[in-house]
Structure 1
Amino acid sequence: MSRFSKKAFFTSLALMTFASQLMSAPLPLPGSSPAPMPKPPVVDPSQPLPSWPVTRTFEQLGRATDTLLLGINSSEQVEFTLRRDRIASDASLQLEYTPSPSLIPTISHIRVYLNDVLMGVLPIDKDQLGRKTTQKMALDPRLISDFNRVRLEFVGHYTDICEDPANNTLWVNISRSSSITLQEQALSLTNDLAFFPLPFFDPRNSGKLELPFVFAANPTLGEQKAAAILASYFGSQSNWRGASFPVLYDALPSVQNKEATQPSVVFATNDHRPAFMSDLEKFPAVTAPVVELIDHPDAPYSKILLVMGRNEEDLAVAAKALALGGNLLRGSRVTIDKVEELQPRKPYDAPAWMRTDRPVRFAELITYPQQLQVSGLQPRPITLDVNLPPDLFVWRNQGIPLRTQYRYTAPSANDDSRLNISLNEQFITSLPLLRKDTSSLEELRLAVLSNDTANANDKLVVPSLKIGDRNRLRFDFNFASTVGSAQRDRCQTILPANTQAIIDEDSTIDLSGYHHYISMPDLKAFARSGFPFSRMADMSESIVVVPATTSPTQISTLLEAVAGISARSGYPAFGLRLTNDWQAASKEDADLLLLGQMAPDMRDNPDLSLLLQRQRDMLVQPYGNTALDANNRRGPSTDERSTPANRTEVTAQAPIAAILGMQSPHHNQRSIVALLGNDDADYNLLREAISDSGKMDAVSGSVALIRSSGVYSQLVGDQYYVGNLPWFLLLWYQLSEHPVLLAVLAVISVLLTAFLLWRALSWAANRRLHKDD
């Protein structure tokens, strides 16, 4: 039975089982009352509905640069979303644009559409030519749904005789500072878990997720683990948006007014619950893992998710059920019967990473419909994001096979129309777009020479193209076309054809057969991909070590760190283990994520490059360059410039934190990443850095200092390698770091081969002579 037929079989079996259970459920007896249905929140109709303005610039909506509208590329659209639990009571567009000074006023204008409905026309006046102009236009809020498009169409004229639509004076520049403002209004929702993860997370919301977690005072390790599992689920859902989890003890998050909307999550067991749940009549003890959705007692539009259980194990089961069984939830209260793992995860199977065990179709890499299709004489580039494990070893490889199939509108003649292919803004090749061939298949190889994270010595080669953990494959269709004539005595104007092009979804990229090998410590791999903890998508080979006594800020740091790893792997941390016993954890065959201060027995480790204590801050710096970045490594791990040569100790009051990477003392294939801090101010610095993509991009090397001024990274101490290579490839890789030794071995090999060949020929000659005698 194939994999797909098996999946269909088990899906059908599950549906039949569910239907049989539903049919066999006992019906209510005559005269008995049915089960109570969830009631909608009681809202005073005289109170105004919660409402607030939300403004997003075009830059925040995905337009990183200004947009130039031309005569032959006259349309551009901007997409924005609206949460399902909100409506827009008012909307407006504030457009900043600069028109060409060569345009004819009044008859040149910009049309504005909302969801393909004309909202209005902005005429270009004489005093606007060549100057930045700001215009505000009202948008009809009745047309706004969960996904929306604002389309701008430029109609420009520069002459009234023999006009050429391709003339370079026809342009208007749309600023990325233009913005869309919505007056968002909250909806009154029933307490129904069928909408989960609403209202706690909505993928239509492009902003950062902020979700408070509430515990009883001094939460146990089991409670923290359950919260980390649920936080990792929200982290995997929020992805690039980021997530923040403020932690409170014994109190719900305060609200500014009754109309505020702030959902929150509460963790409670029968014996350890927050103070506001002390009323056992209102919140009775449970006999199984239970999740319940209730209203905030002080804010009727805010919801509270209660995660309850008899003990800590029940909390973990409830958290996993929320992440795995969201499609089964309904009603205001659900009891979890069982959560069972049917098949364990495998290394490097993170959903956010491209598979490396077989060729991958482009259809598996697209993130929205029609991503691979463009139109127009100057179409937008087609881009594909290719995320890879950071330890993929592609050193000195001949190239990565890229099988590209594409179709396009044939040009009227064989001209300079071409398809340009690039990777990470580096040109690969250019293919002609011929008149007769409207479909073509090209088998290319991405000429990869080196990997940033695998090669510890970049002095040997200067690669013309590199591939790393995050890559962008780009296809640019460029059509050459003559669309008119500028001769006044013989005016010819030809409308440009509706040119279209598409990269076929069956195109493939093949990264199978590559080994996994990386030089460590490498905090850039942790910051960008969550490695080594994301090697197993569910973090089943990772242990998080936390202090024996944790503050709310420390728990927030834990939750956001785990959520960040899951955001990069795309899968919740169901296999996460949590402990406060450093001695036991350090002996486990697992990667360790340490939160707090370094263990006492590790402070004397000579490889430590940073130590933060309450009494002093000690920094060990490398020889020579004190700001050696992991991207600028010069030489192998034995290079004296990586050897600590200076030590500085200071006493200061301002906060400082650090991220430290090192090898496990008991397992040479395991790593330790420590998030170091002393007090809440230090941990707030850590939280700010973890949630800031710009600061995380600056994290590299073996240690990253975090201060209010930014992130300072350096590489200190010995390096080690994680992964496995065949012996011959490993030998060649190690010898490549010593070119003189490699040359000497080559000379010795040649001499030895010549000597053996000479001896063999001499033996053959002597044997022939003796045979003749």
Structure 2
Amino acid sequence: MFPEVPHCNRPAAASRHLPGRGPAARLLPVAVLLAALGSTSLAPAQSTRPATAVVPPAAMPPATATAPAEVAPLAGKRTYKVTLRELGAVFPLQLRGVQGSSGVQFGIRNDEVVTGARLHLNYAYSPALLPDISHIRVLVNEQVVATIPVPREQGGVNLQRDIDIPTRLITEFNRLNLELIGHYTMECEDPAHSSLWANVGNDSTLELSVNPLTPPNDLAFLPEPFFDRRDARQLVLPIVFARAPDPGQLEAAGTVASWFGGLAGFRGASFPALVGQLPARGNAVVLNLANNADAIAGGGLSAPSGPTLQVATHPGDPTAKLLIVSGRDAAELKRAATALALGGTSLSGATATIGELKEITPRKPYDAPNWLPNDRPVKFGELVDQSQLTVSGYSPDLIRVNFQVPPDLFAWRKQNIPVHLKYRYTARPMADKSTLNVSVNEQFLRALPLRAMDHDKPSRIESWLNKAVPAGDLLPAEDLFEIPLFKLPARSQLQFHYYHDILKEGACKDVLLDNVRGTVEPDSTIDIRGFSHFIAMPDLAAFANTGFPFTRMADLSQTAIVLPARPEAGDYSAYLSLMGLMGMVTGYPAHASTVVLGGDRMEEVADKDLLVIASGNNPPLVAQWAEHLPFSLKEGTKRFRLSDYASHLLNWFDPEQRDRSRPGRSEIVYTSASSDAVYAGFESPLKSGRSVVLLISNQASGLQQGVDALLDPDLLKRIQGSTAVIRGKQVDSLVAEQSYYVGQLGPVARVQWWLSRHPLVMVLLGVLAAAVVGFMLYIALRARARSRLRQQ
């Protein structure tokens, strides 16, 4: 869900896949032949369905064998472009040295075949390069597709070039590399000279033309084609209701949305809601009740005989599929949705009727699969694939380890998180300045020196040990360090960079041998044990980044979602997209949440955290809780309370001001027809200690702005405090007040923390303690004086 900082989504190295290994590659010759035969008679058709996948390296899993898809008649060629930035190049590609290399990865959906590929390259190179012996190579899957000359007269100038890529080289997972072969002199040269450079802009684009394939109607392919791991773009999957859904149907739909949201991960997911009709084109999920089977126009649905899952062809788009979740009532519909979310990858056949679904073990607080466990040290190998923990060469990429911590870790007495780092590297030939640099979220932590090899002759005992246990080719080392908790947002990334010092041996002696390797051991650990869970609320940053407090239970069993009494399509879409974001954060389907329409049954959910989605003018529940809100939206009139930070600073000694729990001191009221979205957090009026997060807009269509802000890293980091107003691409947090606390502290820590917040009480207790000690000393001295007088 809710990535907190852009670096959390930066990719790492991924597995490479040889041409012809995946199902798409096996179908390639046939599909290309069909495309060639049909290209003169088939006009390009537009479609809203996601096209070819583009997979950043961090998202690329190893290839797995799947059954080949059936090749259906082509529905028309589609062409789209993606930039290198969208493919994972956060910064322009920097090519340095005599053989500098950098690149990105991209993927092809399993239900599409590439019929054409072209790279639109924006680049520049050093004017010092010798054109006769220098050039830039473009490689796809380690095969050269083009060689770009570097004439001296164009050196240092921004250039553009179009390069055609043979489709025979493209498989389901691909690596696009650019390599500089650079020389600046015909004599002896420094292989790391500053004049050996070329830059490739990350605004360069990859243009792909694709034709769709039609996979069979088989549940065994799930989650494909509705979600394809090769596709790095945002997942857009419509969810269709036959008629206006009741709370049970909405809970089932939320379970499905959270499952797909968890699969989408860093890509993000959006779930447009439709009532009574299918989308014109593209894949969709359909919720089918027995009494609503004929309510979807053109759907051709049959009445279910029990909780059923089915994959069917879209009646209006033969290349698209429908995932139909059916039941005779809401309970069976929820059972089918839960079976899909928890066991969808084990299903097979075009239709599956769920006969039995055993009771699911209740989740425990903070046990979300995507969060670091707080009961044991966690190994790096559990957080990242082992292949991404090894680098090579003198200019290696970063080793990245992504992890997520609960946002309510309390760092007062215990402020640091211990990391036990184990690593191995090629020993340096002699002592130099080579280091392993450790950073977290691009903030430098420490530099660990890389030792030189031992040239001394081993002793007899060491020789015996080496015979018994032969030494490896990499030098082992380890280090124990701590990360300050304040440096860790909820979604964080550890970064390890091997810097190898280049020794200068003199003219004609500097030769770089590509024989250096570095690795971070997968049994290195990070440990968040010993922290209490305690946080000041409201905190919209915790909600935006991790869905807290709702995701405290991974299945959202302590969460109720409150929708308007008569929701519109925009309300449904906002609810489903938020559920998808919850699934992305936790990595677990939200199958235990409760949905409430209007203000009904509020007493039943009083002991739950409430996610309220409201639209229109002055919704009843919002009007009922008006005194708890720092704003109001009523008939086009908007009212906001504003904080007075100067007053806070002047009255720092006032405990209420120190906690910023007083309401804003000023207020603004204006009239506008805009459809701004507003997030607000406050303590539940139904029960103390419970939280409410409200998403509201005066129009249902405006709610989508609030959802889009959570999917945009640049907007996401601006959502904080207790109120955030989203106006298109602008986010303003107007009030940042803390009025209540959630979580638990130990009795001693609780007293210490309370006293730290009340310095005047500390002074009074100190005076009282001094008076008690003085009184006791007075009694003791008086007794001693009387004893001395008696003796005299």
The residue number in structure 2 matching 1:445 is 482
2:544 to 524, 527, 537: 527
Q: Is the 8 A contact 2:721 2:733 kept in 1?
A: yes
Q: Are 2:288 and 1:268 aligned?
A: yes
What is the 5 A alignment of 1:338-349?
Answer: 338-349=356-367
Alpha-carbon distance between aligned partners in 2 of 1:62 and 1:213, rounded to the nearest angstrom: 29
Relative to structure 1, the CA distance from residue 216 to residue 42 in structure 2 (aligned partners, 3 Å threshold; closer, same or farther) is farther
1:468 equivalenced with 2:468 (yes/no): no
Structure 1 residue identity aligned to 2:515: N
The partner residue of 1:71 within 80, 88, 97 is: 97
Q: Counterpart of 2:708 in structure 1: which amino acid?
A: E
Counterpart-to-counterpart distance in 2, 1:447 and 1:264: 45
User: How far 1:317 moved relative to its partner?
Assistant: 1.1
Shift of 1:634: 11
**Kept in 2: contact 1:609–1:716 (CA 8 A):** no
Tell me the CA shift for residue 635 of structure 1: 8.6
Secondary structure class of the residue paired with 1:397: coil
8 Å Cα contact 2:93/2:200 also seen in 1: yes
Cα 1:275/1:619, change in 2 over 3 Å: same
Structure-2 change in CA distance of 1:87 and 1:444 (3 Å): same
**2:377 and 2:529 in contact (8 A); partners too:** yes
Distance 2:646 2:563 in 1: 34
Cα deviation, 1:524-577, whole Å, max 9, x if unaligned, reads 111010001100011011011112211111111110111112111111101111
Counterpart for residue 154 of structure 2: 128
| 3-state SS in 1 of match to 2:694 | strand
Deviations 1:175-201 (A, max 9, x none): 111222221221122111110111111
- Corresponding residue of 1:638: 657
1:213–1:248 contact (8 Å) kept in structure 2? yes
Q: Return the letter of the residue paired with 1:509.
A: I
Deviations 1:393-414 (A, max 9, x none): 1224252211111111111111
Contact 1:421 1:428 in 2 (8 A): yes
Structure 1 residues 291-370: aligned runs within 5 Å: 291-366=309-384, 368-370=385-387
Q: How far is 1:662 from its partner?
A: 0.7
2: CA distance between counterparts of 1:747 and 1:434? 58
8 A contact 2:242–2:288 mirrored in 1: yes
1:200 aligns to 2:226 (yes or no) = yes
By how many angstroms is 1:589 displaced?
1.0
Which one of the candidate residues 638, 651, 675 is aligned to 1:617? 638
Deviates more, 1:115-124 or 1:691-700: 691-700
Q: Secondary structure at the match of 1:606?
A: helix
- Asked if the contact 1:83–1:146 (Cα under 8 Å) also holds between the matched residues in 2, the reply is yes
Query: Match of 2:578?
Result: 561
Moved more, 516-525 or 720-729: 720-729
Deviation at 1:657, TM superposition (A): 2.2
1:707 aligned onto 2:727: yes
In the aligned structure 1, how far is the partner of 2:781 from the partner of 2:420? 50
Q: CA deviation at 1:446?
A: 2.3
Does the CA contact (< 8 Å) of 1:610 and 1:619 recur in 2?
Answer: yes
Aligned partner of 2:433 among 399, 416, 428: 416
Whichever residue aligns with residue 665 of structure 1, its letter is P
TM-score normalised per structure 1: 0.84
Task: Tell me how far 1:327 sits from its aligned partner.
Answer: 2.6
Q: Secondary structure at the match of 1:200?
A: coil
Which residue identity lines up with residue 479 of structure 1 in the other structure? Answer: H
Percent identity of the aligned residues? 36
Tell me: CA distance 1:754–1:417, structure 2 relative to 1, closer, same or farther (3 Å). Answer: farther
Aligned positions of 1:60-99 closer than 5 A: 60-71=86-97, 74-99=100-125
Match runs of 1:46-65 below 5 Å = 48-65=74-91
Q: Aligned in 2, Cα 1:426/1:296: closer, same or farther, shift over 3 Å?
A: closer
Secondary structure class of the residue paired with 2:757:
coil
Contact 1:656 1:707 in 2 (8 A): yes
1-side partners of 2:656 and 2:626: how far apart? Answer: 17
1:576 aligns with 2:593: yes
Residue 467 of structure 1 deviates from its aligned partner by 2.3
Which amino acid in structure 2 is aligned with residue 423 of structure 1? Answer: V
Equivalences for residues 93-492 of structure 1 within 5 A:
93-255=119-281, 262-276=282-296, 283-366=301-384, 368-436=385-453, 438-448=475-485, 451=486, 466-486=487-507, 491-492=508-509
Equivalent residue for 2:510?
Answer: 493
Give secondary structure in 1 for the equivalent of 2:421. Answer: strand
Q: Secondary structure at the match of 2:188?
A: coil
User: C-alpha offsets along residues 92-142 of structure 1, whole Å, 9 cap, x if unaligned?
Assistant: 222222111111113111122211222222121122211122222221212
Change in CA separation of 1:552 and 1:409 when aligned onto 2, cut-off 3 Å? same
Residues 1:513 and 1:616: Cα distance change in structure 2 (over 3 Å):
same
- Does structure 2 retain, via aligned residues, the 8 Å contact 1:548–1:580? yes
Change (3 A) 1:615 1:493: closer
Matched, 1:542 2:559: yes
Partner SS state of residue 698, structure 1? coil
Call closer, same or farther: CA 1:570–1:731 in 2, change over 3 Å. Answer: same
Which letter does structure 1 place at the counterpart of 2:638? D
Structure 2 distance, partners of 1:432, 1:342, is 50
| Code of the aligned partner of 1:267 | L
2:395–2:499 Cα contact (<8 Å) kept: yes
Whole-angstrom distance in 2 between the partners of 1:470 and 1:210? 24
Q: Distance in 1 between matches of 2:640 and 2:149?
A: 62
How far off is 1:702 after superposition?
0.8
- Following TM superposition, by how much is the alpha carbon of 1:743 offset from its aligned partner in structure 2, in angstroms? 5.4
Aligned equivalents of 2:552, 2:98: Cα separation in 1: 48
Contact 1:165 1:483 in 2 (8 A): no
Q: Which amino acid aligns with 1:646?
A: S
Which whole-Å CA distance do the structure 1 matches of 2:528 and 2:152 have between them?
57
CA offset digits 1:264-288 (Å, max 9, x no partner): 1111211123534699xx6442221
The answer as to whether partners of 1:217 and 1:250 remain within 8 angstroms in 2 is yes
Q: Which runs of 5+ in 2 are unaligned?
A: 1-68, 455-474
- Could you tell me which runs of 5 or more consecutive residues in structure 1 were left unpaired when the two chains were aligned: 1-39, 256-261, 452-465
2:278, 2:297 within 8 Å by CA — same for their partners in 1?
A: no
- Name whichever of 423-432 and 523-532 sits farther off: 423-432
Q: SS of 2:673's equivalent? A: coil
CA pair 434-674 structure 1, distance change in 2 beyond 3 A: same
Report how far residue 767 of structure 1 moved: 11
- Residue pair 1:225, 1:578 contacting (<8 A) in 2 also: yes
Per the alignment, in what secondary structure is the counterpart of residue 96 of structure 1? strand
Q: What are the Cα deviations for residues 314-348 of structure 1, in whole angstroms up to 9, with x where unaligned?
A: 11111111112223321211111122234211110
Aligned residues: 698
| 8 Å Cα contact 1:86-1:184 kept in structure 2 | yes
Deviation for aligned residue 1:685: 2.7
Q: Give 1:349 shift.
A: 0.8
- Shift in Å, 1:226: 1.1
Kindly provide the CA deviation profile for residues 286-313 of structure 1, in whole angstroms up to 9, marking residues without a partner as x: 2211122111222211111222111111
* Cα distance, 1:752–1:70 mapped onto 2, change above 3 Å: farther
Structure 1 residue 376, shift from structure 2 partner: 1.6
Deviation at 1:56, TM superposition (A): 1.6
Counterpart CA distance in 1 for 2:217 and 2:407 is 43
Q: How does the TM-score come out when normalised to structure 2?
A: 0.82
Contact 2:98 2:181 in 1 (8 A): no
